Amino acid sequence: MLKKVFIIHCFLVCWSLQQAVAQPAGEHPRYTSTWGYLYAESGNEKDPMGIFATEAPVYVLDSSDTQYKVQVSNGDIGFIARQPLQKAMFGKKSPGEPLQYFYRGNSGGQCPHYYVQVAQLRVRRSPSTASTAVRRAGLNEMVCIDYVPLYTDGWVYVGDHFHENPEYIQMKFLGAELTYEQVLTAYLAVKGKDQERELAQVGRLREIAWTTYPHLKQALTYWKESYANAGVVDVKVDIDFELLLANKFQHELQAAAYAAKVKALKLHFEWKGISLTDGKITDTQMEQLALRRVAEIPDMPECGWEPQYGYAGPNMVVAFEENNKGLLAGSMYKLFFRDGEQLILGAEHMDGNYGEKDFVNHFGELLSADWISEPHVYRMQNGDAGLFIFRFVDGKLASYECMYYC
């Protein structure tokens, strides 16, 4: 009996070392000063379970004269050679860091990264296929990593730095950056020969084409053809609407012509008989609309754009800062179309009943979209300052937002 208990105990200890366990949120790690290997057993350096990059975050659990027992970013627990551990990251890499595991781009200055190799990959909240999927990663999405498991079906951590919004992907679904031509070749190789693989490959082709507009119409046409030949309907994909977008997106305007067209639209807003133009909105107008003054605007990007104050209501946020004449004036930051608010672009008066297809037909040549990760969200360039963002829900205009480049 004692022997059985001892065997079970040993099994559980070994299992706990090999299985990834999600990190506690908010804890601050130390950072390695050099790359190296993680070993499952103390003193056994023959069979590494993983490899970590320079400045990889680790959580020290124990130490000896020669080793640290640590937990790495994906939750693996093991032993690393003792080395100076840093309290911060400095963007450095140590000599000999293996390129095949930690590719940092052509210049060598990027984070170590890989690219997603499959379409619509589930990203998990913890390192387990039984865990909740928090989102889907698109084909060829770049993910930064600091630790690579060397065992079968290992996970890598790709979420925020302090694990407050954790995300995990299995390493087997990551690889080198893909090109449209590579994915097209893979699709044509099975087209008309293997229906299951053909649909899988044309799905990959559609995804990567949404990142390379010049190929979008071709990829979507192949997608429509393959699904029609297979007699399969994908209710999540409105291929005819996507083809409409492809036709609008394929002709890229030169910067000067683009800027002139956007300026000619004279974007502004109207609500309760009051006209609101960015850079000219006044405190008096805000008081007339019964918006409350706020010292700070929530969820502002931390990139240097710091309005002095703002006004907020249930559906509207207006930010006030100095305009080009040195006067304090407001600009629309966020707007939800729930109470008769209108956005005017050229001759189009757009409220919460304004149709998505009308929007695309009128302004498609000025729009861009990341359709795979954010369908029905369109962006229009605001000079070199940022973007206007339009969101549609169930085919109707739902919200507007401006975003300034950091």
Question: Over the stretch 40-79, which tens digit does the pLDDT of each residue have?
Answer: 999 888 889 999 999 999 999 999 999 999 999 999 999 9
**Domain definitions of the chain by residue range:** 2-86, 180-249, 255-404
**Could you read off the pLDDT of 180-232 as tens digits, one per residue?**
999 999 999 999 999 999 999 999 999 999 987 899 999 999 999 999 999 99
Question: Per residue in 355-371, pLDDT tens?
Answer: 999 999 999 999 999 89
The band of 4, judged by pLDDT with boundaries at 50, 70 and 90, is very low
**How are strands ordered across the β-sheet holding 377-382?**
292-294, 309-312, 316-322, 328-336, 396-404, 386-393, 377-382, 367-368
pTM of the predicted model over 0.85:
no
Whole-number pLDDT of residue 125: 95
- pLDDT tens figures, 288-312: 999 999 998 877 765 556 788 999 9
Domain 2-86 is found in CATH 3.40.50.1100: no
- Give me the percent of the chain exceeding a pLDDT of 90: 77
Residue 397: per-residue pLDDT: 98
Alpha-carbon distance of 257 to 182, in angstroms, equals 34
